[in-house]
Amino acid sequence: MNVVCIIQARIGSTRLPGKILKKICGKTILEHDIDRLKRVKNIDKIVIATTTLENDNVVVEEAKRLGVRYFRGSEDDVLSRYYYAAKGNNADIIVRITSDCPLIDSEVTEKIITHYINNKDKYDYVSNTIERTYPRGLDTEVFSLEALEKAFNEAVSQRDREHVTPYIWDNNIIFKLEQYKNDINYSKLRWTLDTKEDFKLISKIYEYLFSENGNKFNMNAILSLYDLDGSLKEININVEQKI
């Protein structure tokens, strides 16, 4: 089974333009994403799925610099971009990660992939994103090529085409879904990057943990940091999540 991690990435961002190429501790956000995902033992291939827009040439150059594959497709029909990226890289299993998650936990992602592989006869889709118990920013979705292909062929609404997986998780009669849950609910914590407040928080976390650990630090290390510095959770507490 060929497990392909597809990261959707583009330079455009309404709330924080150019966020994936902003630097923290000398590395771009996209580089941190890749470094952390390379630690996931059951991912066979990492692919950056960007757009055909000229503005996103810089994303392609960054992918080349980081030594990962890339695919260019529709700006608005992200579902088609994902599908053709998966087909072009002979994916059997797709791991969906977004490029605004520079604190993605390789251990959590690896466990979710393992859970899917061990139960692939029972489930079409496994994630930690619908019924949230993990901090936002550790989002991992795993699904079969067959499920993606069905969504690609059948989804028609703008929402379903723009966001890749809503057609799957909105149709639990068609698709067999599984939610991967943490023992403790940390869903109120926001570790994704979409605003200047998010960038400030993530930068502080890296300043505390990166010099000693590189990108090896995980969710538990960040939670311990929150215990030491209670002001961290206040930095982006008022940021509202877009879909």
CA 109 vs. chain centroid, Å, equals: 10
Query: Would you list the domain boundaries of the chain?
Result: 3-188
What's the rounded Cα separation, in Å, for the pair 60 and 74? Answer: 14
Tokens of 54: 């000229």
| pLDDT score for 243 | 57
190 strand-pairing partners: 136
User: What percent of the chain stands above pLDDT 90?
Assistant: 92
- What does the pLDDT look like over 109-138, one tens digit per residue? 999 999 999 999 999 999 999 999 999 999
Which residue has better confidence, 17 or 144? 144
- 107-112: list long-range contacts, CB under 8 Å, 24+ apart: 107/218, 107/219, 108/134, 108/138, 108/140, 108/218, 108/219, 109/37, 109/40, 109/43, 109/138, 109/140, 110/40, 110/41, 110/42, 111/180, 112/140, 112/142, 112/180
What's the rounded Cα separation, in Å, for the pair 156 and 235? Answer: 38
Overall fold of domain 3-188? Spore Coat Polysaccharide Biosynthesis Protein SpsA; Chain A (3.90.550)
Does this model's pTM top 0.75? My answer is yes
